Structure 1
Amino acid sequence: MLNMIIFSFFVGIIGTGIGGLVAFIYKKPTNRLISTTLGFAGGLMLAVVCFDLLPEAFEVGGLINGIVGMVIGVLLVTYFDMWVGEVLPNNHNMKGIDYIKMGVLMGMAIAVHNFPEGLAIGTSFSTSKELGMSLMLVIGLHDIPEGIAMAAPMSIGGVNKFKVFMYTVLSGIPTGVAVLIGLYLGKISPMVISQSMGFAGGAMLYVTCGEMIPRSRNIYRGRISVLGMIFGVIGGIIITRIFR
């Protein structure tokens, strides 16, 4: 039991870190490859948010709580969108800054998303070992596409590959912290978990629909970005259904 709890502390770090390894495949990517990757990552996130994260938020705390969290998430990430663009270093070209901003915003959303996931793992272990282990595996697998969605734009924007990997690892730390909180506090208010999940879902939808998917279409006008997005959605559905 203790070993499983310790491993649960690292599950978010491992999941997003594995996704972050995608940064190491980029050397001199063509516009076609960049477009496909962004489309695929956007499709993955769209599926995970719409078919897993938001339905779970509505189920845990009701439709109203989930939507309230979504609206707050969209408004806050809109503010961050403007703020991040002003504070990013200007030693990158404008195109690179846009990609880095996209990755930073996704990282913020993922970090917020990982906290209620950790609470869910911790409270599950406080109920039963089997339930906690099952949820730990599911969440770890779900974190992989999130790491990809964060790493791909940052890597394309010119951020050092090792730094990209470390950023994805850091975004998983809130999961571990929340596991311990959930374990010792027992059942957390469903309203808090629902609003937190809704907040993360709204933030991710903003970045996915407002940045990743449109940019994938602008970079390369062929059909490849659309196909990448479709296969990303299919991949996200498989992850959310098989490993649920």
Structure 2
Amino acid sequence: MAILLSVVAFLMTLLGGLVAHRVRERRNLVLGAAAGVMLGVVSFDLLPEALSLDTIHIHGVPLPMLTFAAGFLAVHTVERAVAMHDTHEGDYAAHRHAHAGMGLAAGSALVIHSFLDGAAIGAAFQTDTTLAVAVAIGVIAHDFTDGFNTYTLTTLYGNARRRAITLLCLDAIAPVAGATLTTLLPIPKTLLAAYLGLFAGFLLYLATSHILPEAHTPRRSTGLTLAATLAGTLFMWAVIGLTE
């Protein structure tokens, strides 16, 4: 049953990537919506889930919040090391093509996240079937946005569509692999909580430092772009609310 539900997540991920590919001529709206979705994923899904795992505290701070800050700062540090922002903001769109590796890293992180989504389905089935179905519904609902973001992030940095499609396929397969593997090897809660915090910091940095500035470049920025960001955030709020 866990593997069957993960196959549905596989299909939803592919659908999200297909939508991102088809609407690329309105790139500002795609990026605006993606940023809103990512903000919603961090605020309404990743951090609350990480903090609910009854994890350890280090010097008075929950482990997921420490890894959240570490993830945010790690990406910023890497960017400073390669002088990614040495150019003027107005040159950002042209400058980003030299940093395709960042897009691959972002897409790869989403693949890992999808793997853990599948692992969550498998782990839930080891405890309670009702809980497992609720978890699976949540995973399936937001795997559409995972596929959407995987394709968008990978192509944002100048990667060829072939690479984006490859990562999209890996992202789609990942929940199936996670659900299958978890039936044999459960993931410790402390490790899972630490990862969720780390990924949340990584995702928030990309949304605020890269995707939103690119969506609002002077030649593209419109009121509709802002509306798309708000809609993306509200959409994730609705998804999480319906699956709680």
Q: CA RMSD in A?
A: 3.0
Rounded Cα–Cα distance in structure 2 between residues aligned with 1:111 and 1:82: 25
Following superposition of structure 1 onto structure 2, how do residues 54-133 of structure 1 map, counting pairs within 5 Å? 54-62=47-55, 64-78=62-76, 81=79, 94=94, 97=97, 100=100, 103-133=103-133
One-letter amino acid of the counterpart of residue 72, structure 1: A
| 1:13 corresponds to which of 10, 28, 34 | 10
Structure 2 gap ranges (5+): 56-60, 85-92
- Name the structure 1 match of 2:209: 210
Secondary structure of 2:146 counterpart = helix
- Name the structure 1 match of 2:242: 242
Secondary structure of 1:56 counterpart = helix
| Number of equivalenced pairs | 230
Structure 1 gap ranges (5+): 87-92
Rounded Cα–Cα distance in structure 1 between residues aligned with 2:135 and 2:98: 35
Secondary structure of 1:185 counterpart = coil
Q: TM-score, normalised by structure 2?
A: 0.79
- Name the structure 2 match of 1:37: 30
Aligned 8 A contact 1:16 1:145 in 2? yes
1:64 deviates by: 1.0
Identity of aligned residues (%): 24
Mean CA deviation greater in 76-85 or 47-56: 76-85
Rounded Cα–Cα distance in structure 2 between residues aligned with 1:156 and 1:123: 34
Q: TM-score, normalised by structure 1?
A: 0.79
Q: Deviations over 1:7-26 (max 9, x none)?
A: 24435533322211024414
Rounded Cα–Cα distance in structure 2 between residues aligned with 1:238 and 1:101: 33
Aligned 8 A contact 2:13 2:171 in 1? yes
Rounded Cα–Cα distance in structure 2 between residues aligned with 1:216 and 1:26: 14
- Name the structure 1 match of 2:87: none
1:185 aligns with 2:182: no
Rounded Cα–Cα distance in structure 2 between residues aligned with 1:217 and 1:102: 20
Between structures 1 and 2, the one with greater helix share: 1
* Change in CA separation of 1:78 and 1:61 when aligned onto 2, cut-off 3 Å: farther
